[in-house]
Chains A and B, each alone.
Chain A
Amino acid sequence: MIKESISRKIFRFFNGLFMISMMIICLYPMLYVLFASFSNANLFMEHQGLLLKPLGFNLASYKMVFKDPMIIKGYGNTIFIVVVGTLCNILMTAFCAYFLSRKNVMFKIPIMIFITFTMFFSGGLIPFYLTVRKVGLYNNHWALILPGVINTYNMIIMRTGFQGIPDSMEESAKIDGAGHLTILFRIIIPLAKPVMAVMVLYYAVGHWNGWFNAMIFLQDRRKFPLQLILREILIQNDTSQMTGGVGLVDQEAIGETIKHAVIVVATLPILLIYPFLQKYFVQGIMIGAIKG
C-alpha cells in the first residue's frame, strides 16, 4: 500500500465525521421518540430543545397505551393483514413469476404484455375505489389484501430471481415425473430463498405500514389497523380516547407522551426484524437493478 497523502487523511477524517452526523440525523428522531415515550408527562411538556435521555423515567404512557382497547384491536387487525396478506402476496406473485419464467409456454408474451401494461397506465384512484366497492370488499379486511395482491415490480424481481436458477435442476426433476407444482414448491422456491426473503420483507412492511386503503375502504372502527389508529393520534391529534381517566390539565401533557409511546409500539417490530433481513434485501435490490 502506498503511503496516504495528508490531503487524503484530512478527507478521511471529514468523511468519517460526515458519516457520523448522517447516522445521528437518521437515528435521532427515533431516539427522541423513544426518550419522550419514557418521560414524565409534565416534565416533558416543560422541556425545550433536544432530548438526550428520558425525563424522569416512567412507564405511565405505555400503561395507558396497552390499556387502550383500540390499540390492542388495531394490533390484532394489523397482524391479521400482515400474515394473511403477505401469504397471499407471495403465493400469487410466485405463480405469476413462475409462469413468466418458463420457456416453452405458448401464451407467455401476450400475458406478459397484459400484465406490464398495468405498470404504465392506470384508471386512477376513483375508478379503483368504485371497483373495490363494486366487488363487495367495502368495509372488509380483504379490501386491504386482494386489490394489491401482486406488485408488478416485485413480480419482475421475483421472475428474474427464478430465471437465475439453472435449468438442469428442474430438468432432472421433470425426468422423475415432477409436475409444475412440485417444481415450483420443491425446487424453485427453496433455491430462490434470498429473493423470497426480500419479497416477504417488502410485502410485509407494506402491509404493516399501509393506511390509505384502510382509510378509504374500512368504515367500522373495530376493523382499523394500527396505522389508522396512529393517524388519528398523530395527525388529527386525538388522544382523548385514551386519557379518559385523568384530569383535564394532565390530559394534554400525558397525551404528548402517549403519542410517542404509540409510535414506539407501532414501529418497534419492524425495526427489530429489519437488521436480520438486511443482507437479503440488498441482494434483492441488486436483482431488480440488473433488470432495471
Chain B
Amino acid sequence: MKIAEKTMSVEQNYKKGFSIRFKEDMRQNWTLYILIIPVLLYYLIFHYFPMVGAVIAFKNYIPKKGIFGSDWIGFKHFISFFQSHYFFRIFKNTVVINVSTLIFGFPAPIILALLINEIKRQRFKKTVQTITYLPHFISLVVVAGLIKDFTADYGIINDFIAFFGGERRALLNSPNLFVPIYVLSDIWQGVGWGSIIYLAALSAIDPELYEAAEIDGAGRWKQTLAITLPSILPTVVILLILRMGSIFNVGYEKIILLYNPLIYETADVISSFVYRRGLLEANYSFSTAVGLFNSVLNFSMLLIANSISRKVNETSLW
C-alpha cells in the first residue's frame, strides 16, 4: 500500500513535473541559458538559414525578388546539371582525387607512426615529430605557391628533369599530372599530423604484452603483426570509415589555388565548379542545386559509413 502510494506521488510529480521542473531549471540555470542564446543564434543564422536558403535550388532566384519571392521551377536546375557534360567530368574528378588520396594518403601516416614508434632515442623521436608536424601549419596559399613555383618550367623539379635530359614544361599545365601533384602535396602536408592519432593509440599499448611475447620467443616483426597492428586496428577502421563518408567531398580551397582552365578536365571538382559557377558567374540557383546535390550525397555516404561502422566495430559516430 505504502509503496503504491509512493509510486503514485512520484508519477504525479513527474506528470505535472514539466512546469515545475522548468521553473526549477530556469531558477538555477538562467545564466546558462543566457550564455547559450548567442550560440544558438550563431547556429541559426550561419547554419540553418543557409539550409533554408538552399531552396533557391528549386527556384529561379533573382536577388531583387529575394529567396521567397523568386519563382519556383522545380528540378530544372538539377536536370540541366545531370544532362550537361560537366556532370560526368566533375563527378569523376571528385571521386578520382578522393580515391587516390585515400589509397596513397591514408596508409602513409600509419606507416610513419609505426616507424616513429620504433625509434628508441627519445630526443630523436621528438625532433622527428616536431619537424614532420610542421607542414600542417603552413597556409594553403603558401603551399600552393610553393607547388606552383617548384613545378614551373623554370622550377626546381624541371631543373632535375632537364639535368637528366628531359624537356622543361610547366607541370601544372598537363592534365595527367594534376592528381599526382595534388596527392603528393597532400601527403607532404598531412602525413606527420595524421600520425599523431596513431602514435597515441600505439603509446596506449601495454608494454607487458611485448615482454610476454619476447619471452615466448617472438621476434620484433612477429610482435608487430601480433600485437601492434591489432591494437591500432580499431583506430584505423574508424578513421577509414570516416574517410569513406567524405568520398564525394573534395575541398575547393586547394583546387582553386592550383588549377587553371588548361587542366579543368582533371582538376575541376564539384566544389570548385560550384564556386566558379556560383560566385564568379553569379549563377546562384544553378550552383546551389549542384551544391545541394553534393551535400545530400555526402550526408548519405556518412549515414552508410556510420551503419557499416556500427556493424564492424560496434562503435559509431552516434
A residues with a Cβ closer than 8 A to B are 2, 5, 8, 11-12, 15-16, 18-19, 22-23, 25-27, 29-30, 32-33, 48-50, 92, 95-96, 98-99, 102, 104-106, 111, 114-116, 118, 120-132, 134-135, 146-150, 179-181, 184, 205, 208-209, 211-212, 216, 227, 230-231, 233-235, 259, 263, 266-267, 270-271, 274-275, 278, 282, 285-286, 289, 292
Interface pair A234/B132, CB less than 8 Å apart: no
Closest to B192 in A: A26
In this complex, what residue of A is CB-closest to B286? A126
Instruction: Answer whether A130 and B284 are a contact pair too, CB < 8 Å, given A209-B140, A235-B148.
Output: yes
| Residue pair A99, B196 in contact (C-beta under 8 Å) | no
Query: Which stretch (B5-13, B96-104, B291-299) binds chain A?
Result: B291-299
Residues 134-165 of B at the A interface (beta carbon under 8 Å): 134-135, 137-142, 144-146, 148-150, 156, 159-160, 162-163
Q: Which of B25-43 contact A (CB under 8 A)?
A: 25, 28-29, 31-32, 35-36, 38-40, 42-43
Which of A99, A135, A205, A263 is the one whose CB lies under 8 Å from B39? A99
Question: What residues make up the interface of B, taking CB atoms closer than 8 Å to A?
Answer: 21-22, 25, 28-29, 31-32, 35-36, 38-40, 42-43, 45-54, 56, 67, 112, 115-116, 118-120, 124, 127-128, 130-135, 137-142, 144-146, 148-150, 156, 159-160, 162-163, 188, 192, 196-197, 200-201, 214, 219-220, 235, 238, 242, 252-253, 257, 271, 274-275, 278-279, 284, 287-288, 291-292, 294-295, 299, 302, 318
User: Which of chain A's residues have a CB closer than 8 A to the CB of B133?
Assistant: 278
What residues of chain A lie closer than 8 Å to B120, measured between beta carbons? 12
Residue of A nearest to B49 (CB): A131
The residues of A that contact B35 with a CB separation of less than 8 Å are 95, 98-99, 180-181, 184
Q: Shortest CB–CB separation between residue B243 and chain A, in angstroms?
A: 12
Q: How far is the CA of A189 from the CA of B238 in the complex (A)?
A: 31
Are B50 and A27 in contact, with the CB atoms below 8 A?
no
Given contacts A19-B128, A115-B43, A235-B141, 16 further A-B contacts (CB under 8 A): A16-B119, A19-B115, A98-B35, A106-B25, A123-B50, A126-B284, A127-B51, A130-B50, A130-B67, A209-B141, A211-B253, A230-B142, A263-B145, A266-B142, A270-B138, A282-B196
B residues near A111, Cβ cutoff 8 Å? 36, 40
Chain A residues whose C-beta falls within 8 Å of the C-beta of B274 in the assembled complex: 124-126
Cα A29 to Cα B188 with chains together (Å)? 11
CB distance from A97 to the nearest CB of B (A): 10
In contact, B116 and A123 (Cβ under 8 angstroms): no
Chain A residues whose C-beta falls within 8 Å of the C-beta of B196 in the assembled complex: 282, 285
CB pair B257 A235 closer than 8 Å:
yes
> Within the assembled complex, what's the spacing in Å between the Cα atoms of A195 and B119?
28
Contacts of A128 in B (CB 8 A): 46, 50
The answer to whether A118 and B271 have CB atoms under 8 Å apart is: no
The CA of A2 and the CA of B292, in the complex, are separated in Å by 61
Question: What residues on A are CB-neighbors of B132 within 8 Å?
Answer: 22-23, 26
Chain A residue, CB-CB nearest to B38: A92
Across the interface, do A180 and B31 meet the contact criterion of CB distance under 8 Å? yes
A146-B42 Cα distance, complex, nearest whole Å: 8
Please indicate the chain A residues that have their CB under 8 angstroms from the CB of B192 in the complex.
26
Task: Chain A residues near B116: list those with CB within 8 A.
Answer: 19
Q: Which of A12, A15, A130 is most buried by chain B, counting CB atoms within 10 A of its CB? A: A130
Q: Chain B residues near A50 (CB, 8 Å)? A: 156
Given contacts A105-B25, A114-B43, contact A19 B119 (CB under 8 A): yes
B interface, by DSSP: helix, strand, loop or mixed? helix
CB contacts (< 8 Å) of A271 on chain B: these are: 134, 137
Q: Nearest 7 pairs between A and B by C-beta?
A: A234-B145, A124-B291, A123-B50, A127-B53, A209-B139, A127-B50, A118-B47
Closest to B199 in A: A282
Q: Are the CB atoms of A26 and B131 closer together than 8 Å? A: yes
Q: How far is the CA of A32 from the CA of B288 in the complex (A)?
A: 42
B148: chain A residues at CB < 8 Å are: 234-235
B-chain residues with CB within 8 Å of residue A22 when the two chains form the complex: 112, 128, 131-132
**CB distance A231 to B141 under 8 Å?**
yes
**Closest A-chain residue to B114, C-beta based?**
A15
Residues of A within 8 A of B291 (CB): 123-127
Q: How far is the CA of A17 from the CA of B124 in the complex (A)?
A: 12
Q: Closest chain B residue to A229 by CB distance?
A: B141
What's the least CB distance linking B257 to chain A, in Å?
6
Q: How far is the CA of A127 from the CA of B141 in the complex (A)?
A: 25
C-alpha spacing A205/B48, complex, angstroms: 26
| Least Cβ–Cβ distance between B134 and chain A, in angstroms | 6
**Pairs A–B under 8 Å by Cβ, sample size 21:** A15-B115, A19-B119, A26-B135, A27-B134, A48-B162, A98-B35, A106-B22, A111-B40, A116-B318, A123-B54, A124-B294, A126-B56, A179-B31, A180-B29, A184-B35, A271-B134, A271-B137, A274-B134, A278-B130, A278-B133, A289-B197
Q: Are B39 and A274 in contact (CB under 8 A)?
A: no
Chain A residues within 8 Å of B287, by CB: 125-126
Contacts A95-B38, A96-B36, A125-B275; A33 near B288 (Cβ below 8 A): no
Q: How far is the CB of A59 from chain B (nearest CB, A)?
A: 21
Among B43, B127, B200, B284, which residue has its beta carbon within 8 angstroms of that of A118? B43
Cα–Cα distance between A25 and B189 once the two chains are bound (Å)? 10
Nearest opposing residue in chain B for A201, CB measure: B137
Q: Is the CB of B46 within 8 A of A121?
A: no
Chain B residues whose CB sits within 8 angstroms of the CB of A292 once the complex forms: 238, 242
